[in-house]
């Protein structure tokens, strides 16, 4: 029979159980062929027991059943090639703004239907998937409490106007004066090639004004990364229209290790 692999963290319990059962019949004997190995899958240390022949030769039929029952009861048999898996992905924050809770920021009213507020985010060295978009979205008094907007993500080619749109989804966003709003878009499977820059944009769908997006003044202003698109479709950097802060908008990406 083949060796049976059992997690190292059950060795004490297993040995105690087997020993106790054995004492009911004979003097205590521990199987001689107990040895440490390195798991061929993940390199984690396990205990390997070659005890099938031992059981066959030492115990009668009822005792063998009792041993197997005790092993099942205590959950001692753990085929754990994957039990020591480390992380297979990593989380990366894609941002350039310098905002932190309580930092210097200001909410800017947006009341023109079709206008877009956007940032350009640099692509990552390896292929990546955007899973979440986060932004500081609120206004004085948090009135009204929420607002519907259209999230768009474009490929950014380095020009004022972005390239191909690769994601679009509507969201009702709640107002918050200090905490970042989080939009989970993982189910859209937005996968991008290594080094692909993106433009994350929000299109205004009403004339409410607030809640709206915040600009921050703690980080160095990036004129080529902050954008406003007017209702006629023209893209301008923030400073070109009198806004001189970084939009507090970022993406969360996932990469395989």
In a domain, 107, yes or no: yes
Confidence at residue 186, expressed as pLDDT on a 0 to 100 scale: 97
Let me know whether 188 and 62 are in one domain.
no
User: Based on the domain organization, do 42 and 153 belong to the same domain?
Assistant: no
- Least-confidence region, from 54-68, 94-108, 154-168, 233-247: 54-68
pLDDT of amino acid 136: 94
Residue-wise pLDDT tens digits, 40-63: 344 333 333 444 454 455 555 666
Q: Tell me: do 56 and 104 sit in the same domain.
A: no
Per-residue buried b or exposed e for 44-59, using 16+ beta carbons within 10 Å of the residue's own CB: bebbbbebeebeeeeb
pTM over 0.75: no
Q: List alpha helices for the chain, DSSP H.
A: 11-23, 52-58, 61-74
Q: Are residues 97 and 196 in the same domain?
A: yes
CA distance 46 to 27: 27
Tell me if 48 sits within 8 A of 8, measured CB to CB.
Answer: no
Whole-number mean pLDDT of the chain? Answer: 77
Q: In this predicted structure, what is the pLDDT of residue 172?
A: 97
Q: For residue 114, which of 231, 240, 233 has the smallest C-alpha distance?
A: 231
84-123 per-position pLDDT tens digit: 567 899 999 999 988 887 778 899 999 999 999 999 999 9
- Which residues form the domain of 15? 4-74
pLDDT recorded at residue 100:
81
Q: Are residues 200 and 174 in the same domain?
A: yes
The distance in angstroms from the start CA to the end CA of the chain is 37
Alpha carbon distance 200, 133 (integer Å): 8
Q: What local confidence, expressed as pLDDT, does residue 225 receive? A: 96
Do 154 and 62 share a structural domain? no
Q: Which residue has the higher pLDDT, 172 or 177?
A: 172
Locus of tokens 């754990």: 80
Domain count, the chain: 2
């Amino acid at each position: 029979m083949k060796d049976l692999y059992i997690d190292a963290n059950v060795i004490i319990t297993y040995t105690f159980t087997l020993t106790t059962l054995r004492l009911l019949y004979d003097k205590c004997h521990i199987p001689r062929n107990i040895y440490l190995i390195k798991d061929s899958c993940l390199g984690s240390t396990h205990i390997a027991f070659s005890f099938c022949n031992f059981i066959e030769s030492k115990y009668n039929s009822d005792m063998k059943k009792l041993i197997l029952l005790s092993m099942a009861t205590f959950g001692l048999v753990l085929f754990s090639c994957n039990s020591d898996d480390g992380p297979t992905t990593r989380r990366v924050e894609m941002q350039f703004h310098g905002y932190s809770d309580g930092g210097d920021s200001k909410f800017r009213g947006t009341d023109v239907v079709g206008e877009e507020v956007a940032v350009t985010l640099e692509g990552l060295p390896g292929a990546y998937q955007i899973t979440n978009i986060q932004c500081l979205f609120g206004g004085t008094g948090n009135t009204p409490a929420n607002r519907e907007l259209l999230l768009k993500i474009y490929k950014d080619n380095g020009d004022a106007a972005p390239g191909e749109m690769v994601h679009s989804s509507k969201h009702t966003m709640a107002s918050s004066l200090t905490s970042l709003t989080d939009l989970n878009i993982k189910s859209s499977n937005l996968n991008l090639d290594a080094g692909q820059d993106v433009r994350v944009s929000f299109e205004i769908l009403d004339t409410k004004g607030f809640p709206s997006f915040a600009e921050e003044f703690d980080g160095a202003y990036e004129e080529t990364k902050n954008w406003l698109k007017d209702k006629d479709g023209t893209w301008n950097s923030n400073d070109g229209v009198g806004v001189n802060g970084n939009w507090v908008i970022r993406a969360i990406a996932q990469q395989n290790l």
